[in-house]
Amino acid sequence: MDFNATFPPVESLIPEAARGLNAVMDRLCPGVFAGLLATDGTLLYANRAALDAIGAEPRQVLGRRFDETPWWEACERSREQVREALALAAAGVPARFDVRIGTADRGAIAIDFSLLPILDPEGRVACLVPSARDVSERDHAQRELLRIRHAVEQATDALFQVSADGQVRWVNAAAGRLLGYDIAELLGMRVAQIDAGIAEAEWPDRWQALQALGALRFETWVRHRSGTQIPVDVSISAVQDGEGSFAHVCVDDLRERRAADERIRQLTQHDLLTGLPNRALLADRLEMHLQSGAPSALLAVDLDRFRRVNDGLGSAAGDLLLQAAARRIAAALRPGDWIARPSSDEFVVLLRGVDEPAARRTAQNVLGAFAEPFDLDGETVHLTCSIGIALSPEHGDAVEQLLRRAGAALIRAKAAGRNGLALYRVAPFDEDPERWQLENALRGALARRELALHYQPQCEFRDGRIVGAEALLRWRSPTLGEVAPDRFIPVAEEIGMIGAIGDWVLAEACRQAAAWRRDGLRPLRIAVNLSARQLQQSGLAERVERLLDEQRLQGCALGLEVTEGMLIENLEQACATLARLRALGVEIALDDFGTGYSSLSYLRRLPVDLVKIDRSLVADVTDPRASITRAVIALAQGLDLRVLAEGVETAEQLERLASHGCDLAQGFVLGRPLTAAAFGELLCASDVSKPE
């Protein structure tokens, strides 16, 4: 049958009917392209959607061979496919495939194209119906899906899909790599077999939590096939699909991150030169250890005169020396002891579970480790160290406190001549939180004239007359108020100000003594307290002599008070200085006797004139059992020394001391320390009542 004869183009035959049919077609399938072809491929009809796609009117395309129409212009390969399909369809074989066509407004798009032969009642091909659907979106989605699947498969994070009953139903390659299994082996495994942090029985709870919250995130450990456990970060989200809900699990291996963290921690908590823990780590570990309350000792180890090596041989040699010193210290410790390097030439050692004797022994071992000289690339260097020891819990259980106290002991070890050790001795000032404020204020105190001397009378027992006065230093700071000498003098010693302050005290005492004499008051001996540093300084006797000369005073106008501790630290030099002072007529008093070494046999060898019995012993004299004071008085007098009782507060004490034969007394009962003016008045009054 000749189709063209049987079915001439619709428009040409019945224009209204054709228009109606076209309208129906367009309405029925607005997104679908449809047409009609003669068996030879001539386009007889194209619907509105197809025409609009290429922006054509019917007359521009109808009557042309279908494969020559503008739809295929953009893609030669598609045109070929259509040609083949036309040939097949003409033979009665339908075709369906995806091709690309060019459109007027969207460029090339993908379509799902089919070509259907229509048979006449005799079974011959009567015409062909091309139809097509825009699948560019589906195509795009499919490509997207592929990309996503690829990304998921290749993701470095291990991904799992877990069903509601806790079974793995899908994993990616990274999951297999992480756990050491083939993907097939993982499918069907239970979450509890993989996650070491959850038991099988706990899965329902986790699932419920996931459903309630929508997502979960936590850190846990997963089991590797080898049996090792791997730290991971897990994020789970609940996903709904057509078959119900499942869990999408993303598992991030934390090993590398942990290793990096550890490296950073190493760097920030260790000293690069020696590899030893630095101050931060030291504080951390100490904190942990001290919390346990176990007895322990902290050694502050400082290399003596390290700076000289560093300056003399260069910092490279200094570095070598520090490394060698660190090794020697470490080798002198017991296993379990612990060493850190908090600052340049200082090491801190923590000895665990030790008492004082054991701490001293270990410290001695450390000192001993420096006996042999160091060999620095052929250069022989002798180096010693000093060690300060603080014990816990005796000296404190707080990190900062113990470190400070070991440091304070170290300063003492250094002051005692280095290459030695010193145990912390409780001193009121190093606990003071306002210590730094005090130090700062003290630095300007002399220049700002904030210092003054007060005078406390010293009286003869014999007749109660004032024969002398102790000059006591007073500091009135505008910021801190009245500061006691017990508090600021140790600080002045430590910051190296005691020399200047001591010189001022000496000069001021001499000036005042001379002024009183000029005022017509009877001659007194003004006693000045010396500090250890002052006594160690050379030229003290010369300075005193010059001061006396300047004020036209005789030596007997001045007394100097020293303590046993000051003398013993450097006995020979101290004795020589004191001997020269005594030769000037200056009286030397041994202050605070009874609190320190209090060795009476020792007294014999010391160049002193007067022993001042400390007030702690004096307070005891009313106790009938206390015979110490009496013994001291008797012995001192046996050595031809005069004895002064300090801190006498009651008449009863005075009486008893008198009965023991004590020579002099000083204390509140006789008179408190007074300003120079007030003391002058007191002297005047006593001169009037007790003329010479």
| 133 half-sphere exposure, CB direction, 13 A CA radius | 9
- What is the closest distance, in whole angstroms, from the C-beta atom of residue 296 to ligand C2E in the complex? 34
If the CB atoms of residues 88 and 669 are measured against Mg ion, the closer one turns out to be 669
Rounded CA gap, 446 and 507, in Å? 13
Binding at 131: pick from Mg ion, ligand C2E, none (beta carbon under 5-8 Å per type): none
Which residue type occupies 105? D
Closest by alpha carbon to 337, among 354, 317, 315?
Answer: 354
Contact between 395 and 387 (Cβ < 8 Å): no
Contact with ligand C2E (CB under 6 A): which of 108, 135, 358, 472? 472
468 counts as binding ligand C2E under rule CB under 6 A: no
Does residue 375 sit in helix, strand or coil?
A: strand
Question: Mask 417-456, x = binds ligand C2E (CB under 6 A)?
Answer: ---------------------------------------x
Of residues 529-548, which lie at the interface with ligand C2E (CB under 6 A)?
A: 529-531
Binding at 508: pick from ligand C2E, Mg ion, none (beta carbon under 5-8 Å per type): none
Residue 3 in tokens: 């189709």
Rounded CA gap, 328 and 649, in Å? 56
Of residues 507-536, which lie at the interface with Mg ion (CB under 5 A)?
A: 529
Name the residue with tokens 């001997």.
Answer: 579
| 486 half-sphere exposure, CB direction, 13 A CA radius | 3
| 456 half-sphere exposure, CB direction, 13 A CA radius | 19
Among the listed ranges 162-170, 301-309, 411-419, 526-534, the one in contact with ligand C2E (CB under 6 A) is 526-534
| 303 half-sphere exposure, CB direction, 13 A CA radius | 28
564 counts as binding ligand C2E under rule CB under 6 A: no
473 counts as binding ligand C2E under rule CB under 6 A: yes
Query: What's the DSSP call for residue 607?
Result: -
Contact between 523 and 517 (Cβ < 8 Å): yes
302 counts as binding Mg ion under rule CB under 5 A: no
506 counts as binding ligand C2E under rule CB under 6 A: no
Long-range CB contacts (within 8 A, 24+) of 217-226: 219/254, 220/195, 220/196, 221/195, 221/196, 221/197, 222/178, 222/179, 222/194, 222/195, 222/196, 222/251, 223/179, 223/193, 223/194, 223/195, 223/196, 224/178, 224/179, 224/180, 225/179, 225/180, 225/181, 226/180
Closest by alpha carbon to 325, among 371, 278, 279?
Answer: 371
Question: Mask 261-290, x = binds ligand C2E (CB under 6 A)?
Answer: ------------------------------
635 counts as binding ligand C2E under rule CB under 6 A: no
490 counts as binding ligand C2E under rule CB under 6 A: no
- What is the closest distance, in whole angstroms, from the C-beta atom of residue 497 to ligand C2E in the complex? 11
Size of the site for ligand C2E (CB under 6 A): 23
Question: Mask 631-670, x = binds Mg ion (CB under 5 A)?
Answer: ---------------x------------------------
Contact with Mg ion (CB under 5 A): which of 134, 337, 345, 591? 591
652 counts as binding ligand C2E under rule CB under 6 A: no
486 counts as binding ligand C2E under rule CB under 6 A: yes
Rounded CA gap, 161 and 238, in Å? 10
Among the listed ranges 203-211, 218-226, 383-391, 528-536, the one in contact with ligand C2E (CB under 6 A) is 528-536
- What is the closest distance, in whole angstroms, from the C-beta atom of residue 688 to ligand C2E in the complex? 25
Question: Mask 565-594, x = binds ligand C2E (CB under 6 A)?
Answer: --------------------------xx--
Contact between 369 and 257 (Cβ < 8 Å): no
Number of residues in the chain: 692
- What is the closest distance, in whole angstroms, from the C-beta atom of residue 594 to Mg ion in the complex? 10
If the CB atoms of residues 277 and 647 are measured against Mg ion, the closer one turns out to be 647
If the CB atoms of residues 388 and 559 are measured against Mg ion, the closer one turns out to be 559
Contact with ligand C2E (CB under 6 A): which of 58, 180, 295, 485? 485
Contact with ligand C2E (CB under 6 A): which of 86, 667, 679, 686? 667
If the CB atoms of residues 195 and 564 are measured against ligand C2E, the closer one turns out to be 564
- Rounded to the nearest 10 degrees, how much is the dihedral formed by the CA atoms of 464, 466, 468, 473? 110
Binding at 400: pick from ligand C2E, Mg ion, none (beta carbon under 5-8 Å per type): none
Contact with ligand C2E (CB under 6 A): which of 195, 594, 647, 653? 647
- What is the closest distance, in whole angstroms, from the C-beta atom of residue 588 to ligand C2E in the complex? 14
- What is the closest distance, in whole angstroms, from the C-beta atom of residue 484 to Mg ion in the complex? 14
Name the residue with tokens 């004869």.
Answer: 5
Rounded CA gap, 99 and 81, in Å? 8
Question: Mask 349-378, x = binds ligand C2E (CB under 6 A)?
Answer: ------------------------------
Of residues 668-687, which lie at the interface with ligand C2E (CB under 6 A)?
A: 668, 673
- What is the closest distance, in whole angstroms, from the C-beta atom of residue 609 to ligand C2E in the complex? 16
If the CB atoms of residues 489 and 683 are measured against Mg ion, the closer one turns out to be 489
592 counts as binding Mg ion under rule CB under 5 A: yes
Of residues 591-620, which lie at the interface with ligand C2E (CB under 6 A)?
A: 591-592, 615
CA 672 distance to own-chain centroid: 51
Name the residue with tokens 């129906």.
Answer: 24
If the CB atoms of residues 474 and 582 are measured against ligand C2E, the closer one turns out to be 474
- What is the closest distance, in whole angstroms, from the C-beta atom of residue 456 to ligand C2E in the complex? 6
- What is the closest distance, in whole angstroms, from the C-beta atom of residue 294 to Mg ion in the complex? 40
If the CB atoms of residues 36 and 567 are measured against ligand C2E, the closer one turns out to be 567
Name the residue with tokens 């496919």.
Answer: 81
Among the listed ranges 117-125, 176-184, 269-277, 484-492, the one in contact with ligand C2E (CB under 6 A) is 484-492
Rounded CA gap, 543 and 507, in Å? 9
458 counts as binding ligand C2E under rule CB under 6 A: no
653 counts as binding ligand C2E under rule CB under 6 A: no
Residue 159 parent element (H or E)? strand 158-163
Contact between 352 and 296 (Cβ < 8 Å): yes
Name the residue with tokens 């300056």.
Answer: 311
Of residues 392-421, which lie at the interface with ligand C2E (CB under 6 A)?
A: none
Rounded CA gap, 398 and 392, in Å? 9
If the CB atoms of residues 11 and 649 are measured against ligand C2E, the closer one turns out to be 649
Over the Cα atoms of the chain, what is R_g? 52
489 counts as binding ligand C2E under rule CB under 6 A: yes
Taking every pair of Cα atoms in the chain, the longest distance, rounded to a whole number of angstroms, is 167
Long-range CB contacts (within 8 A, 24+) of 635-642: 635/600, 635/603, 636/600, 636/603, 636/611, 637/661, 639/603, 639/604, 641/603, 641/608, 641/609, 641/610, 641/611, 642/609, 642/610, 642/611
Phi-psi category of residue 597: left, alpha or beta, with phi > 0 → left and psi -120 to 50 → alpha: alpha
Closest by alpha carbon to 488, among 668, 478, 479, 477?
Answer: 477
117 counts as binding ligand C2E under rule CB under 6 A: no
Where does this chain bind Mg ion (CB under 5 A)?
529, 561, 591-592, 646
Where does this chain bind ligand C2E (CB under 6 A)?
456, 472-473, 484-486, 489, 505, 529-531, 561, 591-592, 615, 646-649, 666-668, 673
